[in-house]
Structure 1
Amino acid sequence: MSYVALYRAWRPQRFSDVVGQEHVVTTLIHALEMNRLAHAYLFAGPRGTGKTSLAKILAKAVNCEQPEGIEPCNVCPACTGINAGAVMDVVEMDAASNRGIDEIRGLLEQVRYVPTEVKKKVYIIDEVHMLTPEAFNALLKTLEEPPNYCLFVLATTELHKVPATIASRCQRFSFGRVKVERVVQRLQEVAATLSVAVEESALWLIARLTEGGLRDALSLLDQVVAFSSDHIGVEQVAEVTGGVSSEKIGELCSLVFAHDHGGLLSLLSAFWERGVDPSQLIVETLSYLRDAIVQKCGGVEIDKSDRVQYDPTFAVVISHVQPSILLQIAERMGHLQAEMRFQSQARLYIEVSLLALIDQMDPVVDQKPVLEPSKQGVPSEDLLIMRQELQQLVQRIELLERKQWVENRQIAEQRTQEATEEAPERQIRNPVQETPLVRQSTSVSPMQSKGRHAWQGKQMNAQDQELLTTLEQRWVPLLEEMKRTSIQTRAWLYAGRPVGVFGHHLVIAFKSSLHAETVIKSPHRELIEEVLQQRLQRPVVIATILEEEWERVKNHMINGDSDQNVGKVSEPWVGKVIELLGEDRVRVIDE
């Protein structure tokens, strides 16, 4: 006796055997019970979801000689003949290979004759969207008003290619992909009859790879059984499909998270030696990242990931990773997938791209290059509570600082107004609009505002001079790094150059006052300081200055000359104003 493939041996024979299409089965059963069966049906859905199988069950149900309620008995001559394809009145035609008008005309010639073997003629046309326009036109009239002894069942995987004139003459049913859990249940039933030990994790992986196609799942299980006749696990499934196991993809991601260049290259080299296709590696990595993003963003309830069923390391790998990092990697992998067709050396391109990605992204805290599930775990509840309390404390401190700064500013403005009223013979003419020595934002905190004046009057020591030289040499790479953070900020900063370092203070000189004033404003100032702090590993406060003003300040530092305007000030109230507002923002004019 010849071997029968699993998907054929386990093909549904009754309505109760159909998996995952309850809405279609229920409607057809009720139609049969109430004798309200339509003359034409259109089954549309992905491959392997039961369209043709349900059409044959319906053909048996309307012709069964000894039905068990609504279910066909599968033992009478009509049922056995339909199962064997030996009944001439039940015609199953593949429109992909019989798509012309001549084939349809031959079919319509048979419609005129009454059935001879069974009660009702049934015509099942699979992949009906492949018919030519002429064939569709020939089918129209008969499909609209067929003889009462005829039933048409059309099946298609591409509903949008079926003309509206055909679809409107049929009752349409949409077949959905079978849920992974249902596919696994069916595979477990099949595996129980086999003489091979099959791990449940392997069944979950098969169901995941076939994307809700039960026929494809049974075919893949059949193939894996032929490959490994004694034991089937996740490794055997991955080897048969030519892909990479989920645990290996997790190891790849953990190496990227940990910035482990050497480990990443070694793992990729192992993939290439095994013959892993680069395009398939990108697809599986994207699938892994997609599941991770769903988990991290709280989509577990609406999209329950089944990866944990066959990959115990999945939850451990993503436990310390922020969604922003996952999105960054997924976006880059998506670009890689689109660019692969233009690359002649795909393996080298993937290696270089992943290494470049590592250098661009922030390292993941507490992430080890190679994860061991037995030693790693998710953060404890106490640690999470401590993190939340620390974040709340930081927010309260920032709020108090902003409040104190507003109060100090109001006091300074009030004192300035009182001082001006007491000395009417001298005027301070809009000091903010005068050309200042240092351009700075008026929306900074008290600590920042104080820090931006602190560098004036100081001399650069040897350490400051060394850091300035380093910044001058690395200014172009810093601009490129800023470009990845904010293109607009980098455009404004491009016109400047570092001219002075005074402790934590960096002075940047510009030729244009517009550039100097814009760079020091929010959010450009914060972005620049953040990038500099990450690169230099030290606090940085920036200040901007015009080139011509910097030359004057530099000469002042060298010669020790005092500022002419400030040197003339002898009145106490003027000194008080300068102390409150800063000497770089005040110009005294004698009249």
Structure 2
Amino acid sequence: MAYQALYRVWRPQDFIDVVGQEHVTKTLQNALLQQKISHAYLFSGPRGTGKTSAAKILAKAINCERSPVSEPCNECAACLGITNGTIPDVLEFDAASNSRVEEMRDVLDKVKFAPTAVNYKVYIIDEVHMLSISAFNALLKTLEEPPKHVIFILATTEPHKIPLTIISRCQRFDFRRITAGAIVNRMKLIVEETGVDCEERALQMIARAADGGMRDALSLLDQAISYSEDRVTVEDALTVTGSVSQGFLNRLANAFQASDVASGLAALDELLYHGKDPARFIEDFILFYRDMLLFKTAPNLEESLERVMLDDEFRMMAEAIPIEQIYQLIDHLNKTQQEMRWTNHPRIFLEVAVVKLCQMEAKQTTQPQSGDIGQLIARIDQLESELQHLKANGVAAAQHDAPPQPQKPSQRTSRKGFQPAVGRINEVLKQATKSDLNLIKANWGEMRANLMKSHAALLNEAEPAAASDTAFILKFKHEMLCQMAMDKSDFLEAVTAALYKLTGKRFLLLGVPEEQWAAIRENFLNSHHGEEGMDSGTKKEEEPHILEAKKLFGAEFVEIID
């Protein structure tokens, strides 16, 4: 007889053999004993978790000659015939290769006929999500009113692709990923029965690479047995699964810790030389540090570790690396993994990541020690005391004795920095009115709400100072913010457009820092008071307190009432 793969030889024949799905098998067993069988079931879950096997076991248990039973006897003619596939009343239909409506109708046309060899006709439709919309519509009517002698079992890995009208007519069972421990226990039973010599650590490596699927685990075990000579070792399992040995991960982690870029790159070259998959390597490395983090924070949860074995080298390394550093390592490796998904040259990203991680460690090792910190604190205290002394004596006295310098703001404009358009500002002040300024201020808040966050942030410490019918002056508290705002053409256009939508007027924005605005306004008032920007009934020679008020607040803000 030709050789059969392990996953076919050891396919579950009883509910007790379905590993890791006790929540499903127990429910089905109770329903069998109580004879509460539904007309349709939906088994969903990841690949290799026992969906089709459970469907066949359920078909045998329903038609077993000793029913009602919780487990099929696997001895009667019905059980043996269903196992061998010789009973036509139990049909396994592959929707992936028979997705057209014609093929589904050909199957459904035979539903109305009574079974010939067993009590119930069982239709197992695998990968049911692959059916076309027309095929689903053909199946829907039969599921709604099926004959009493027919049971449908639908199996799928993607239940979200199945119409809700189909799902609502089925009892749904969700199969879970099988834990690594359950997979290892099942493989131990298999190697003991087959007489294969296998290391337990090799089985653990295979179970972790299977990603929760028993069929994948048995396929990898079958491949490892063929690859090995007399005994399946950890190295055999690593070679078959493409994983990286823990010794290699320890070597790279030591290179990071010692800031040894050359050693890290040499280890990476050796890894790629042996044909390891870069994507699998980066995943193993993330799990390595993840397990190290769990070991440091919860050392009692050894069963939660997915990648490492708790040997002496790993324990010593975990004690030497602080938790904050592990967070940074995982973050850098995770970013590298995301970048590698969209490139044709993953090796470059791996090499850059190794260099970055080594340099990051080098920066951390140069941090000051506790003695140096104490000296720095003492030096800071000394400097603070000297600064307080200068403020109390020298600086205060110098400020008190220094004569006033009214030209200081104008000198700031002559330095290399922001220089406002003084000529345009003076033209705006000549034509400025209080109504135009109030119009802008009334819509200012709503205008800022309509801007992008980056544009609105530039207006946090700015306010309109004066406005005419065509332009307005925007006063900034800091010169740097004014420079940034006036250099951004998109910002100026956004503010102008937002005000135009709210007011119907297109205003020209003129920015000026607060310090320079005081000097510009004072110079304007000194040269234009009594000529422009004043009411027609105002006298040319005004009283001193009125002139002082205009100097302080601006002529456009002063209203004289008799």
Fold-level match, TM-score > 0.5?
A: yes
**Who is 1:328 aligned against?**
328
**Who is 2:184 aligned against?**
184
How much has 1:286 moved relative to structure 2? Answer: 2.2
Cα distance in 1 for partners of 2:207, 2:40 equals 33
| 3-state SS in 2 of match to 1:339 | helix
Structure 1 segments of 4+ aligned residues over 6 angstroms from their partners:
426-431, 512-515
Cα distance in 1 for partners of 2:54, 2:400 equals 89
Tell me if the contact between 1:49 and 1:212 (Cα under 8 Å) persists in the aligned partners: yes
Cα distance in 1 for partners of 2:144, 2:72 equals 28
How much has 1:288 moved relative to structure 2? Answer: 1.9
- Closer, same or farther in 2 for the Cα pair 1:363/1:257, shift >3 Å? farther
Tell me if the contact between 2:265 and 2:354 (Cα under 8 Å) persists in the aligned partners: no
**Who is 1:129 aligned against?**
129
**Who is 1:356 aligned against?**
356
Alignment of 1:282 with 2:258, yes or no, is no
Moved more, 304-313 or 230-239: 304-313
How much has 1:131 moved relative to structure 2? Answer: 0.8
Task: In structure 2, give the amino acid aligned to 1:37.
Answer: I
Task: In structure 1, give the amino acid aligned to 2:208.
Answer: R
Task: State how 1:452-491 maps to structure 2 within 5 Å.
Answer: none
Task: State how 1:255-266 maps to structure 2 within 5 Å.
Answer: 255-266=255-266
**Who is 1:12 aligned against?**
12
| 3-state SS in 2 of match to 1:319 | helix
| 3-state SS in 2 of match to 1:155 | strand
Cα distance in 1 for partners of 2:70, 2:345 equals 60
Cα distance in 1 for partners of 2:268, 2:203 equals 27
Cα distance in 2 for partners of 1:94, 1:295 equals 46
- Closer, same or farther in 2 for the Cα pair 1:186/1:342, shift >3 Å? closer
| 3-state SS in 2 of match to 1:153 | strand
| 3-state SS in 1 of match to 2:153 | strand
Task: State how 1:390-469 maps to structure 2 within 5 Å.
Answer: none
How much has 1:299 moved relative to structure 2? Answer: 8.6
Cα distance in 2 for partners of 1:31, 1:22 equals 14
Task: State how 1:46-125 maps to structure 2 within 5 Å.
Answer: 46-67=46-67, 69-125=69-125
Alignment of 1:164 with 2:170, yes or no, is no
Task: State how 1:215-226 maps to structure 2 within 5 Å.
Answer: 215-226=215-226
**Who is 1:587 aligned against?**
none
**Who is 1:147 aligned against?**
147
**Who is 1:43 aligned against?**
43
Identity rate, percent: 43
Cα distance in 2 for partners of 1:79, 1:312 equals 53
Tell me if the contact between 2:287 and 2:306 (Cα under 8 Å) persists in the aligned partners: no
Task: In structure 2, give the amino acid aligned to 1:48.
Answer: G
Tell me if the contact between 1:238 and 1:245 (Cα under 8 Å) persists in the aligned partners: yes
Cα distance in 1 for partners of 2:306, 2:330 equals 19
Deviations 1:156-179 (A, max 9, x none): 111111111111110111111111
Task: In structure 1, give the amino acid aligned to 2:210.
Answer: T
How much has 1:353 moved relative to structure 2? Answer: 3.0
- Closer, same or farther in 2 for the Cα pair 1:123/1:344, shift >3 Å? closer
Cα distance in 2 for partners of 1:254, 1:266 equals 13
Task: In structure 2, give the amino acid aligned to 1:84.
Answer: N
Task: In structure 2, give the amino acid aligned to 1:122.
Answer: V
Cα distance in 1 for partners of 2:155, 2:279 equals 32
Tell me if the contact between 2:44 and 2:158 (Cα under 8 Å) persists in the aligned partners: yes
Deviations 1:36-55 (A, max 9, x none): 11111111111111111111
Larger Rg: 1 or 2?
Answer: 2
User: Which runs of 5 or more structure 2 residues have no equivalent in the other structure?
Assistant: 406-477, 482-562
Task: In structure 1, give the amino acid aligned to 2:50.
Answer: G
Task: State how 1:195-274 maps to structure 2 within 5 Å.
Answer: 195-274=195-274
- Over the aligned positions, Cα root-mean-square deviation in angstroms equals 3.6
- Closer, same or farther in 2 for the Cα pair 1:429/1:97, shift >3 Å? farther
Tell me if the contact between 1:49 and 1:215 (Cα under 8 Å) persists in the aligned partners: yes
Cα distance in 2 for partners of 1:170, 1:344 equals 45
- Closer, same or farther in 2 for the Cα pair 1:401/1:52, shift >3 Å? farther
**Who is 1:463 aligned against?**
none
**Who is 2:513 aligned against?**
none
Cα distance in 1 for partners of 2:59, 2:307 equals 39
Tell me if the contact between 2:30 and 2:70 (Cα under 8 Å) persists in the aligned partners: no
| 3-state SS in 2 of match to 1:110 | coil
Tell me if the contact between 1:205 and 1:310 (Cα under 8 Å) persists in the aligned partners: no
- Closer, same or farther in 2 for the Cα pair 1:88/1:299, shift >3 Å? farther
| 3-state SS in 1 of match to 2:109 | helix
Cα distance in 2 for partners of 1:271, 1:159 equals 39
**Who is 2:307 aligned against?**
307
Tell me if the contact between 1:104 and 1:138 (Cα under 8 Å) persists in the aligned partners: yes
Deviations 1:137-190 (A, max 9, x none): 111111122111011111111111111111111011111111111111111101
| 3-state SS in 2 of match to 1:232 | coil
Task: In structure 2, give the amino acid aligned to 1:228.
Answer: S
How much has 1:313 moved relative to structure 2? Answer: 4.1
**Who is 1:520 aligned against?**
none
Tell me if the contact between 1:20 and 1:178 (Cα under 8 Å) persists in the aligned partners: yes
Cα distance in 2 for partners of 1:126, 1:363 equals 57
Deviations 1:256-302 (A, max 9, x none): 12211121122112112212222222222222233233334449649
User: Which runs of 5 or more structure 1 residues have no equivalent in the other structure?
Assistant: 366-389, 421-425, 435-511, 516-591
Deviations 1:440-481 (A, max 9, x none): xxxxxxxxxxxxxxxxxxxxxxxxxxxxxxxxxxxxxxxxxx
Tell me if the contact between 1:258 and 1:364 (Cα under 8 Å) persists in the aligned partners: no
Task: In structure 2, give the amino acid aligned to 1:215.
Answer: R
Task: In structure 2, give the amino acid aligned to 1:120.
Answer: Y
Cα distance in 1 for partners of 2:360, 2:208 equals 32
Tell me if the contact between 2:101 and 2:135 (Cα under 8 Å) persists in the aligned partners: yes
How much has 1:345 moved relative to structure 2? Answer: 4.1
Task: In structure 1, give the amino acid aligned to 2:234.
Answer: V
Tell me if the contact between 2:89 and 2:121 (Cα under 8 Å) persists in the aligned partners: yes
| 3-state SS in 1 of match to 2:41 | strand
Tell me if the contact between 1:38 and 1:171 (Cα under 8 Å) persists in the aligned partners: yes
Deviations 1:392-451 (A, max 9, x none): xx99xx9x999x99xx99x99xxx8xxx9xxxxx999799xx9xxxxxxxxxxxxxxxxx
- Closer, same or farther in 2 for the Cα pair 1:196/1:70, shift >3 Å? closer
- Closer, same or farther in 2 for the Cα pair 1:69/1:277, shift >3 Å? closer
Task: In structure 1, give the amino acid aligned to 2:219.
Answer: S
Cα distance in 2 for partners of 1:312, 1:102 equals 64
**Who is 1:21 aligned against?**
21
Cα distance in 1 for partners of 2:285, 2:149 equals 54
Cα distance in 1 for partners of 2:196, 2:301 equals 35
Moved more, 251-260 or 139-148: 251-260
Cα distance in 1 for partners of 2:19, 2:36 equals 24
- Closer, same or farther in 2 for the Cα pair 1:304/1:514, shift >3 Å? same
Cα distance in 2 for partners of 1:41, 1:315 equals 49
Tell me if the contact between 1:294 and 1:303 (Cα under 8 Å) persists in the aligned partners: no
| 3-state SS in 1 of match to 2:29 | helix
